[in-house]
Amino acid sequence: MKLRHLPILAACSIILASLFAGPVMAQRQDQASLLLDLKKARASYDSAKQKMDNDKKLFDNQAISGDEYTRSKNDFLGREVDYQKLILKVMNQQSYIIVQKAIKYQSKDKKRKVKVVLKSTAATNEEFLNYFKSHSDIFSPEMRQEKVYNIFVSLMTSAADETIIADPYEAHVPSIEMGKTVEVHFTLLRDVESLQILLNYGDRSERRTVLLQQDASANIVDINSRQFSQEANLGGRATYDLNLERFSSGDDIYKLEVVNLPRQATFEFLDTATNARISQTRFPQGVTSKRLSLVVYLPDRADDDIITDEPLEFFVLALPREEVSDLNKLRQQGPLTAQKLNTINAGRTKLELIPRGVGRIEIAAPTLYHEIKTGEQVQMNITVKNTGTRRLDNVKISTDNPLNWRSIIEPDLISSLEVEQKQIVKLTLIPPDDTGVGAQEVKIKSEAMANNRSVQTEDKTVRIKISAKTPLLGSLILIIVLIFFVVGTVVFGIKLSRR
């Protein structure tokens, strides 16, 4: 086949694809009707061309006038234009562009991107090509350029939600040569695993719903956490939800590591699906993302490495097992920076944990049980101690008294109490004058603030047993009678022994 026929074959293949593609019967009927129109237009074109050629010979032999030849020539040009317009209509109805690939990958600046590969294609039909092959003169130079012009591409979530989720919102491809491919790169504004590609070119608008492929060129796992910065009390824990996404086509095993976390703080990785404790993970075939949890436990007390209110910055890594030895070498060089971690093939994310002190109050007393007589008072010393890990402010001691009881507390307000510091508080409980015998309970309550937060406290209960007073005169007479009884008994015993 001669090279000059290649543009004809390409253009004809577009026509053939439009005539025979499509499963819908209505579309096939339209294409069949269009084929008949093409044959009719071709017949009119051939007839007008033959008449023009004949009139040209007659005009050269002066058999007809110049006006008749001109009319014949103009009629031919009109039929030629009609035929070309019909061919262009067929070409416009054919889908020139296919989406060859849609690959999600991660750029060096950790942004998620999508590479869309577009290809200009044309189907071929030998019968139809043979039909047009001998009439290459009908194709204009524009038809022989074998290009599709002005393609506009957008990425959307779905047909139901037509939200554009990529930057740029719309990409412009000036042209694509027949059989060639063009790459269009987008930055994802929302992380998705599937999306819809909208193509606009000519008078056509087409959509492709695709599942994004993963970039197999880089064997890395990307890690993200929505709770990248958290607070936790000393002695408590913080849980980070980790989303792992694989940018690889293999099924490698990835080691999970935490670096730059002080040794006093412990951690564990948990599989959110099974709650199993893990130290490495892998992605089954067809799975590109997983969810894990990282739980970090803080010690009960602060020290030189863990300082209250000072953020701890550390990295979570997912790296192939062959990279673990390189990581261990870097650890021997001291704290790992982002620049050092760039030297190993590992996915990572930076997390932050802010240790917070905990305010706790301990109230102690030598005894919480007292016995008094009616008319007496209860005096006791209580010790207020800060057993937490943060300074206490506005420590207030109060009592919940029985009816008509009073209490005196000195001091009733402690402005501040440092960690492990103690304060003696004097408490006097005064019953009413007409109190009866029996048992009473008084609750000792405490209130405090730590870091502008209320501190939970535990009440203490003082139990008091009240007895009646014995009259002094009656007691004295009873004692004298008892003494006379004892003395009389002794004297009587002595006299009895002398007989």
pLDDT of residue 250: 61
Higher pLDDT, 122 or 458: 458
Contact between 115 and 102 (Cβ < 8 Å): yes
Please count the other Cβ atoms lying within 10 Å of the Cβ belonging to residue 390: 22
Range of the domain at 227: 220-356
Strands 361-364 and 204-211, sheet pairing: unpaired
- Tell me the pLDDT band of 277, cut-offs 50, 70 and 90: very high
Q: Are residues 101 and 89 in the same domain?
A: no
Asked whether residue 57 is assigned to any structural domain, the reply reads: yes
Please count the other Cβ atoms lying within 10 Å of the Cβ belonging to residue 91: 19
Q: Is the pLDDT of residue 176 over 90?
A: no
Q: Is the pLDDT of residue 9 over 70?
A: no
pLDDT of residue 16: 44
Higher pLDDT, 417 or 95: 417
Q: Are residues 224 and 203 in the same domain?
A: no
Q: Are residues 286 and 177 in the same domain?
A: no
Q: Are residues 343 and 224 in the same domain?
A: yes
Backbone phi, then psi, for 352, in 5-degree steps? -140, 140
pLDDT of residue 232: 92
Higher pLDDT, 336 or 168: 168
Q: In what order do the strands lie in the sheet with 378-386?
A: 361-364, 378-386, 422-430, 406-410
- Candidate from 140-149, 248-257, 378-387 with smallest mean pLDDT: 140-149
- Of 356, 381, 397, at which residue does a domain stop? 356
Q: Are residues 318 and 414 in the same domain?
A: no
pLDDT of residue 448: 92
- Share in percent of the chain as helix, strand, coil (round to 5): 30, 40, 30
Residue environment code for 199-234, b if the CB has 16+ CB neighbours within 10 A, otherwise e: bebbeeeeeeeeebebbeeebbbbbebeeeebebbb
- HEC assignment per residue over 56-120: HHHHHCCCCCHHHHHHHHHHHHHHHHHHHHHHHHHHHHCCCEEEEEEEEEECCCCCEEEEEEEEE
Q: What is the mean pLDDT of residues 343-349?
A: 84
Residue 429 to residue 412: CA distance in whole angstroms: 14
Higher pLDDT, 230 or 331: 230
Mean pLDDT of the chain: 82
The burial of 246, by beta-carbon neighbours within 10 Å (0-12 exposed, 13-18 middle, 19 or more buried), is given as: buried
Q: What is the mean pLDDT of residues 109-114?
A: 82
Higher pLDDT, 193 or 6: 193
- Candidate from 34-43, 132-141, 164-173 with smallest mean pLDDT: 132-141
Q: Are residues 264 and 374 in the same domain?
A: no
Higher pLDDT, 411 or 497: 411
pLDDT of residue 340: 86
Asked whether residue 485 is assigned to any structural domain, the reply reads: no
Q: Is the pLDDT of residue 124 over 50?
A: no
Q: Is the pLDDT of residue 147 over 90?
A: no
Asked whether residue 14 is assigned to any structural domain, the reply reads: no
- Of 339, 356, 373, at which residue does a domain stop? 356
E strand or H helix at 296? strand 289-297
Q: Is the pLDDT of residue 87 over 90?
A: no
Q: Is the pLDDT of residue 391 over 50?
A: yes
Residue 85 to residue 128: CA distance in whole angstroms: 18
Q: Are residues 54 and 37 in the same domain?
A: yes
Q: Are residues 347 and 373 in the same domain?
A: no
Contact between 9 and 136 (Cβ < 8 Å): no
Asked whether residue 45 is assigned to any structural domain, the reply reads: yes
Which residues are CB-neighbours of 469 under 8 A, at least 6 positions away? 373, 374, 375
Q: Are residues 331 and 265 in the same domain?
A: yes
Asked whether residue 238 is assigned to any structural domain, the reply reads: yes
Q: Is the pLDDT of residue 248 over 80?
A: no
Hey, what are 407's tokens? 């209490």
Q: Is the pLDDT of residue 463 over 90?
A: yes
Hey, what are 131's tokens? 């039909």
pLDDT digits (tens, 9 = 90+) for 185-230: 999 998 888 899 999 987 788 898 998 887 765 557 888 888 889 9
Q: Is the pLDDT of residue 450 over 70?
A: yes
- Tell me the pLDDT band of 4, cut-offs 50, 70 and 90: very low
Q: Are residues 351 and 370 in the same domain?
A: no
Q: Are residues 341 and 405 in the same domain?
A: no
Q: Is the pLDDT of residue 396 over 70?
A: yes
- Tell me the pLDDT band of 321, cut-offs 50, 70 and 90: confident
Overall domain count for the chain: 4
Asked whether residue 407 is assigned to any structural domain, the reply reads: yes
The whole-model pTM stands at 0.57
Q: What is the mean pLDDT of residues 55-76?
A: 86
Measured N-to-C along each axis, helices 6-20 and 25-60 cross at an angle, to the nearest 10 degrees, of: 140
CATH of the domain at 292: 2.60.40.10
pLDDT of residue 267: 95
Q: Are residues 325 and 345 in the same domain?
A: yes
Q: Which of the 8 DSSP states describes residue 4?
A: G
